[in-house]
Chain A
Amino acid sequence: MATEIDQEKAPAKLKIVEDATCTFCGCVCDDMELTVEGNTITKAKNACVLGKSWFFNHHIEDRPEAMIDGQPASYDEAFDVAADVLFHSQYAITYGLSDTTCEAQRVAVAITDWIGGNLDTTTSVCHGPSGMAFQGVGEVTATLGEIRNRADYLIFWGGNPAESHPRHFTKYSLMPKGQFVPNGRKDRTAVLIDVRKTKSAKAVDTFLQIRPRSDFELAWALRGLARGIDVDPSVEEKTGIPLEQLVEVMEGMKRAKFGAILFGMGVTMTRGKHINSEAVLALARDMNRHTRWIAKPMRGHGNVTGADNVVSWSTGYPFGVSLTRGYPRFNPGEFTSSDLLARREADAALIIASDPMSNFSQPARDHLASIPVVVLDPKLSDTARIAKVAFTTATYGINTTGTVYRMDDIPLPLRPAFESPFKSDYEILKAIEARIRKRQLQAVS
């Protein structure tokens, strides 16, 4: 790559970062080759359209390092105000964490524990229902490497990878040539199940356009067929899919040597939620009576899987964890952020690398805007705009090193492209933690 660049124009600043990791989506592709000129990434070889946009638009912005009540402030001033907000809270929530490193996530867990707050991540409004379903029926799982090398039958369910995870098809699932699928796409059969005929429909062999809110019924019908139970033809009225077509799909599923169901938020966000996920996971389990099948959620944010892992190994639960009694309690619906805000229970919030003001329900947004909020984000967001304290941060993976987890729970290292004048989430959280501890120790001495 370096030979393509005019060395005389930028001899000192040019840098090539090989095997860099893209943290935009849950694919976490770690084969990026970045060309860096000063504080700008000018080329991102191997990146998809989303990855290119991620790398090309995270340059150093002309913004204050922190804002207090909408006014520019220094980091030190902001650390103190943030620590005061959290120290004096009665029921603070920590939320977000899916777009930062595992190292920063650990500090966020520690802060929440010190102050006896509530810990939750964007998982609760993403694949949280799948996390609940794992506890109900288990997860027959595999890595993306196994899918790439083995899967000869793929079902994409309630998702649109062509737009949301553009390299999933080409790098991990549909297209690549693998050890047991040497002809790549020709050796694989693919089905898409969705309400919308999205761009992903063009890539598959069979598109099942189901009626809205009928994922559970479809999964249950397929479970019946997998177990040899007669399914009533009325399933078509509910799902829009004729029984004959389901039987045909099931025959193909049984003939497969290795099948994978990759499901998205069309399953988890629709009425039924964790019950929908349970049905899909149970279908994969049932299929193991015939041949090897697995099911994996398609995770969205770059390190949302890391958030699940860090919160799980720290507290025993993946999200929606109350630390108010000094020991972890898990109860989705009670200790999940959307609920705590909509019920107007939280009195302060620490929001890390997330923008709930742009995706929470209106009652939750109304309450969040009424309490003191501490925000860490590399970009200006709706949540930063209503914050008591807003920190501008370095971008993980582009400016900072650390660890992230791919959607299949594989940890990967980050190789930053250039330094940022802004502090990392980890550094900011450590500074806030130190100030909270100082206040706590002073209070008891």
Chain B
Amino acid sequence: MPAEFILIPGRTSKQGTSLNEGKYTDNYQTEINTLQMNPDDMDRLSIAEGDVVRVWNSFGSVDVPVKSGKAELPIGVLFISYGDKSCRLMGGETHGSGMPDSKGLDVLLEKVES
């Protein structure tokens, strides 16, 4: 049964520093390809650090490993650094603003059984 979440893509300090090292370094790629989740949500859905989850909405679907967002993230909210994965969940509609919905995206999440 998929769980409903709100995804907030954003920037992190680690993304900023690894960006200067290069977008194809392990540090940068790890940062943009890891999903952060509230620890209580992880417990509720029996998800451990490193487990892969599928996140999707009407625009796309991505598989990403999870790490704990600790106390930073409220329950029901996910975070991922901007990058290929977050792009795949963004639609092209900007509602006349030029800006696609880039934060606060409604998504569904399910653990990918290995």
- A residues at B contact (CB < 8 Å): 24-25, 49-50, 53-54, 56-58, 120, 124-125, 128-129, 132, 160, 162-164, 166, 195-198, 209, 212-213, 265-266, 268-271, 273-274, 300, 319-320, 332-334, 336-339, 341-343, 355, 358-365, 379-382
Max chain A C-beta neighbours (<10 A), residue from B20, B59, B72, B88: B20
Contact A198 B72 (CB under 8 A): yes
Contact A320 B16 (CB under 8 A): no
Cα distance A358–B102 when bound, in Å?
Answer: 13
Contact B100 A338 (CB under 8 A): yes
Q: B interface, how many residues as a size bin? A: 35 or more
Nearest chain-B residue to A355 (Cβ)?
A: B23
Contact B87 A125 (CB under 8 A): no
Contact A125 B21 (CB under 8 A): no
Contact B16 A124 (CB under 8 A): no
Nearest 8 A-B pairs (CB), nearest first? A342-B92, A336-B98, A333-B96, A363-B92, A53-B17, A163-B13, A332-B98, A57-B20
Contacts A269-B102, A358-B82 supplied; 17 other A-B pairs, CB < 8 Å: A163-B11, A195-B77, A196-B8, A196-B10, A196-B69, A197-B72, A213-B6, A269-B103, A273-B95, A273-B97, A336-B99, A338-B94, A342-B100, A359-B82, A359-B87, A361-B92, A379-B22
- Out of A195, A266, A338, A359, name the residue touching B98 (CB < 8 Å): A338
Cα distance A234–B91 when bound, in Å?
Answer: 32
Shortest A156–chain B CB gap in Å is 14
A382 and B23 in contact, given A195-B77, A196-B79 (Cβ under 8 angstroms): yes
> B30 an interface residue at 8 Å Cβ cutoff?
no
Main secondary structure of the interface of B (DSSP, over half): loop
Cβ of B12: which chain A residues have Cβ within 8 Å of it?
A: 163
Contact B8 A365 (CB under 8 A): no
Contact B88 A57 (CB under 8 A): no
Nearest chain-A residue to B36 (Cβ)?
A: A196
Contact A49 B103 (CB under 8 A): no
Cβ of A197: which chain B residues have Cβ within 8 Å of it?
A: 71-74
- Out of A128, A332, A361, name the residue touching B90 (CB < 8 Å): A361
Cβ of B19: which chain A residues have Cβ within 8 Å of it?
A: 53
> B2 an interface residue at 8 Å Cβ cutoff?
no
> B50 an interface residue at 8 Å Cβ cutoff?
no
Cβ of A265: which chain B residues have Cβ within 8 Å of it?
A: 10, 102-103
Cβ of A163: which chain B residues have Cβ within 8 Å of it?
A: 11-13, 16
Contact A380 B23 (CB under 8 A): yes
- Out of A209, A341, A358, name the residue touching B74 (CB < 8 Å): A209
Cα distance A362–B99 when bound, in Å?
Answer: 13
Cα distance A196–B10 when bound, in Å?
Answer: 11
Question: Could you jot down 8 A-B contacts, CB within 8 Å?
Answer: A50-B17, A125-B100, A129-B97, A196-B74, A197-B71, A269-B103, A333-B94, A338-B94
Contact B13 A363 (CB under 8 A): no
Nearest chain-A residue to B22 (Cβ)?
A: A379
Shortest B32–chain A CB gap in Å is 8
Shortest A241–chain B CB gap in Å is 13
> B4 an interface residue at 8 Å Cβ cutoff?
no
Could you mark each residue 80-114 of chain B with 1 if its beta carbon is under 8 Å from any beta carbon of chain A, else 0?
00111011111111111111111110000000000
Cα distance A142–B90 when bound, in Å?
Answer: 34
Contact B103 A379 (CB under 8 A): no
A362 and B20 in contact, given A195-B8, A339-B92, A339-B94 (Cβ under 8 angstroms): no
Contact A128 B98 (CB under 8 A): yes
**Which residues of chain B (1-45) have a CB below 8 Å from chain A?**
6, 8, 10-13, 16-24
Nearest chain-B residue to A196 (Cβ)?
A: B72
Cβ of B71: which chain A residues have Cβ within 8 Å of it?
A: 197
Cβ of B59: which chain A residues have Cβ within 8 Å of it?
A: 361-362
Contact B104 A338 (CB under 8 A): no
Cα distance A242–B103 when bound, in Å?
Answer: 24
Shortest B59–chain A CB gap in Å is 6
Cβ of B16: which chain A residues have Cβ within 8 Å of it?
A: 24-25, 49-50, 53, 163-164
Shortest A32–chain B CB gap in Å is 15
Cα distance A429–B22 when bound, in Å?
Answer: 24
Cα distance A381–B22 when bound, in Å?
Answer: 8
Cα distance A196–B75 when bound, in Å?
Answer: 10
Cβ of A50: which chain B residues have Cβ within 8 Å of it?
A: 13, 16-17, 20
Cα distance A363–B97 when bound, in Å?
Answer: 17
Contact A343 B17 (CB under 8 A): no
Contact A363 B91 (CB under 8 A): yes
Cβ of A336: which chain B residues have Cβ within 8 Å of it?
A: 94, 97-99
